[in-house]
Chains A and B, each alone.
Chain A
Amino acid sequence: MSREWSVRFGAHLYLTLSKTSTYQTPSSLNSSNSFAMFNKFKTKTDKLSVPSAIKSVSSVTNAIKTVRQTDLSDKLSSASFQLDDLARYGVDGLIDGMGFDPVQSLLAVSTSAGQIHVYGQHQVAVTLETPTPNPVITLKFVKGVYLVAIDSEDTILVYSLESKKLLSNYKAAAAIISVESDPSLDWLLLGLATGIVVAFDVDRFSLAPFKIANLTHPRGRIVSLKWHPRELGTLLVATTDAVHIYSVATEEVKQTFAYAIPAGAPGGGDRDGTRNPTVTNALWHPNGLNIVSFYEDNSLVFWDAVSGQLLQARTLYDTYVDRATTRLTCPVVEQTPIIKVCWITGENPDVTSLVMLGGEINFDGGVHSLTVMHFGAAPTYSITSYEKMAEYYAHPASHKQIPLHTTSQIIDFLPLPRLSPHFNGSHNPSHLLVLQDDGQLQLMDCDTWGSDTRACKLPPDLTYLLPASTCIAATEIERNAWLNMVSAALKAQRSAQILQGGLPTKRPVRLYGMRSVMITGHANGSVRLWDASYGEIDETAVLETNLGDVLQGIATHVAISRVSYATDVAEMSVAMGSGVAMLKFGRNVRYSAAAAWGSVDTMRKLVVNEHSMCDLVQRYPNVKEGLLPTHYFQRPGVVTALKHSGIGLIAVGYESGQLIIIDNRGPAVIFDKNIGKYGDRGAVTAVEFSIMQHEDDTYSSILCYVGTAPGGLFAFKILPDREGRYMARFVGLALSEGSAIHSITTLNAETGESAAALLKHFETLGAGVVVPPMIIVASSRSVRVLRGLKTKVAQRSFDVRVLGCGTVTVHVDLSRDPANPTYTPRTAVVLTLVDSVRVLSVPELRDLQTLSLPFGVSAADAAYNVTVLPCGDVVLRKSATSVALVSILGKGITQHTYPPDVLFNRKMYLPPRPTMNVMSYARGSKPLTRDQLNEAMGGPKRRKGTILEVELGDKIVAGTAIYAPRETQEYEQVGNYERKNAYSAAATRNFNGLVRSVQSGIDTVNERLNTAGALASQKADEANDAIVKGAFKSKFGMS
Chain B
Amino acid sequence: MSARTPSRSYDMIMKLLLVGDSGVGKSCLLLRFVEDKFNPSFITTIGIDFKIRTIEVNGKKIKLQVWDTAGQERFRTITTAYYRGAMGIIIVYDTTDSRTFDNVENWFATVNQHASDEAQLMLVGNKCDDLENRQVPREKAVELAKRLNIPFVEASAKSNENVDQVFYELAKLIQENVGDAVVETNNGVNVASSNDSTKSSCC
Contacts and interface: CB of A to CB of B under 8 A. Distances in A.
Contact of B9 (A324, A329, A330, A449): A324
Contacts, number: 119
Contact of A369 (B12, B47, B74, B85): B47
A345 to B, nearest CB: 21
B189 interface: yes
Given A330-B85, A331-B85, A271 B78 contact: no
Given A318-B13, A327-B185, A391-B1, A450 B46 contact: yes
B82 interface: yes
Interface string B1-29: 10000111111111100000000000000
A400 B185 contact: no
Contacts of A327: 11-12, 183, 185-187, 189-191
Query: In this complex, which of A329, A360, A399 has the most chain B Cβ atoms within 10 angstroms of its Cβ?
Result: A329
Given A326-B189, A332-B85, A363 B78 contact: yes
Nearest to A314: B52
Contacts of A316: 50
Interface string A446-479: 0011100000000000000000000000000000
Contact of A264 (B7, B87, B187, B191): B187
A518 B170 CA distance: 57
Contacts of B191: 327, 329
Contacts of B186: 263-264, 271, 324, 327
A406 B75 contact: yes
B130 interface: no
B84 interface: yes
A181 B168 CA distance: 51
A399 B75 CA distance: 18
B13 A329 contact: yes
Contact of B52 (A331, A394, A552): A394
Contacts of B8: 320, 323
Interface string A338-367: 000000000000000000000011110000
Contacts of A318: 13, 52, 63, 65
A333 B186 CA distance: 19
Interface residues of B, number: 43
A400 B52 CA distance: 12
Nearest to B85: A333
Contacts of B178: 329
A400 B81 contact: no
B93 to A, nearest CB: 17
A332 B186 CA distance: 16
A383 interface: no
What class of interface size applies to chain A in its complex with B?
A: 35 or more
A330 B63 CA distance: 10
Contacts of A368: 78
A403 B78 contact: yes
B199 interface: no
A206 to B, nearest CB: 47
A395 B45 CA distance: 18
B126 to A, nearest CB: 18
Contacts of A333: 84-85
Interface string B87-107: 100000000000000000000
Nearest to B174: A329
A178 to B, nearest CB: 30
A361 B46 CA distance: 17
A332 B86 CA distance: 10
B81 A361 contact: yes
A403 B7 contact: no
A807 B51 CA distance: 64
A738 interface: no
A330 B12 CA distance: 7
A319 interface: yes
A449 B79 CA distance: 16
A1034 B106 CA distance: 59
A319 B191 CA distance: 21
A556 B74 CA distance: 8
B36 interface: no
A552 B74 CA distance: 9
Contacts of A401: 47-48, 50
Interface of A: 263-264, 271, 316-320, 323-333, 360-363, 368-369, 391, 394-395, 398-403, 406, 448-450, 552-553, 556
14 contacts: A317-B65, A318-B65, A320-B7, A326-B9, A327-B183, A329-B178, A330-B13, A333-B85, A363-B80, A391-B6, A400-B46, A400-B50, A403-B48, A403-B72
Given A363-B77, A391-B1, A391-B6, 16 more contacts: A264-B187, A318-B65, A320-B7, A327-B186, A327-B189, A327-B191, A329-B87, A330-B13, A330-B85, A331-B85, A333-B84, A361-B82, A363-B78, A369-B78, A402-B47, A403-B48
In order of increasing CB-CB distance, the 10 nearest A-B pairs are A363-B81, A402-B47, A333-B85, A403-B75, A327-B185, A403-B78, A330-B13, A331-B85, A399-B50, A401-B48
